Amino acid sequence: MEKKDKVMMVNNKVKIVVLNSCQTVEYAAAELSKYLGIMANDEEIGSIVNDKNEKDGISLGLFKDFGISDDFLKDPELDDAIDIKVENSKGYIAGSNARSVLIGVYRFLECLGCRWLRPGKDGETIPNRDVSNLAVTLQEKASYRHRGMCIEGSVSLENMLDSVE
């Protein structure tokens, strides 16, 4: 029975549709695919598609790709905002800029239970779960334009290298 369930999941891949083909959004798609694979215990579960006409899956792009207004932002290139609407693993993750799309992917994953508690693989907590019925609705705007990372107590080359991929 376990093998049959595995085959059903392989045939039901989660499509990740890249609407804005830039390096940052493509990286966001790769990260989403990677973590969905870890959650589903099937690294092949996420299928990245670069087809703007594809409607079935989780689409990643800028607000303008979805007709979402960014009028509430002073400068959409500098101010981060996200809009996530996913139901039954279909919908979109939109950002005011490419960086915001990546932030949106991580916020989506956080809403699904993923945590990055400290640098390095041992600092990740990724739940095992069915990824065929994911649902998240979220709209956020960064409170501040500038953000930083505190590294007190763990200032070493090894820890710094662990904090970047």
Q: What is the spatial distance between Cα 129 and Cα 36, in angstroms, rounded to a whole number?
A: 9
Q: What is the pLDDT of residue 9?
A: 34
φ and ψ at residue 103, rounded to 5 degrees? -60, -40
How many other β-carbons are positioned within 10 Å of the β-carbon of residue 124?
A: 14
Q: What is the spatial distance between Cα 120 and Cα 26, in angstroms, rounded to a whole number?
A: 22
Report H helices in the chain: 2-11, 23-40, 98-111, 157-162
Burial 131-164 (b: 16+ CB within 10 A, else e): beebebeeeeebeeeeeeeeeeeeeeeeeeebee
DSSP state for residue 32 in the 8-state scheme: H
Q: What is the pLDDT of residue 153?
A: 75
The pTM of the full predicted model, rounded to 2 decimals, is 0.87
Domains of the chain, CATH where assigned: 2-162 (3.30.379.10)
Q: What is the pLDDT of residue 10?
A: 36
Q: What is the pLDDT of residue 146?
A: 87
Q: What is the pLDDT of residue 13?
A: 87
pLDDT in tens, the chain (165 residues): 343 333 233 357 899 999 988 999 999 999 999 999 999 999 999 999 998 888 889 999 999 999 999 999 999 999 999 999 999 999 999 999 999 999 999 999 999 999 998 888 888 999 999 999 999 999 999 999 988 877 777 678 887 787 777
CB 29 within 8 A of CB 16: yes
Q: What is the pLDDT of residue 86?
A: 98
Q: What is the pLDDT of residue 102?
A: 98
